[in-house]
Amino acid sequence: MKKIGSLVLTLVLALGMTACSDSKTVSGTKSSAAETTAGTTAENAQTSGESSGSVEVTLDTTGNFTFKYENTDILLGSTDTEALLASLGEAKSSLDVPSCAHDGTDHVYTYTNMVLTTYQAKGSDTCYVSDVLITSDLVKTPEGLEIGMSADDAKTKYGEPDESTDVTMTFKRGTSVLLVTLKDNSIVSLEYMIP
């Protein structure tokens, strides 16, 4: 049991480090879509002499990836996080941390086979689904991809990647991406995110 707990903690820390180091380089969509809206609303309120209060954060989720976990659809970028969390049931653990990629808070929920992160911009009452990390080969993407499969399996299910290196493949849909991490041509990590 201690090994499983240590593994989950390690994955959460790795997720945080990944967000800090590379999430800004995948695509500027989240920054420009969410933070521009938030910044513009706050600036307009200050310019007109009103108090800034809360800001409205919205994302275009058209065409985004949807991950299915235990009969619950998780749409990347969705702001219906209260209903989503209720549908998923109680998380094994949860953690609120300052976002190292953006100005706001990441709410991290750990479940049996995945880690779900919602992001809340500073000054906003709204959270949106920003990241889903699959932590086990016991779950698959809706297209049937799972940890342990090959890079060729990913290409068969998703087509040619939008970006790739020797150890990663990135598939884009709408304002979301699926990051596939490889080791010796085998998938070791699957992560959906709003970069």
Mean per-residue pLDDT for 77-93?
95
Show the tokens assigned to 122.
Answer: 């500073």
Show the tokens assigned to 87.
Answer: 């549908």
DSSP class per residue in 57-76: -----TT--EEEETTEEEET
| Pairing outcome for strands 127-134 and 114-121 | antiparallel
Contact 69, 190 (CB under 8 A): no
The pLDDT mean for the chain works out to: 79
Global model pTM greater than 0.85: no
Residue found under tokens 């598939």: 171
Would you state the pLDDT for residue 81?
95
Higher pLDDT, 10 or 123: 123
Q: What are the backbone angles phi and psi of residue 142, rounded to the nearest 5°?
A: -55, -25
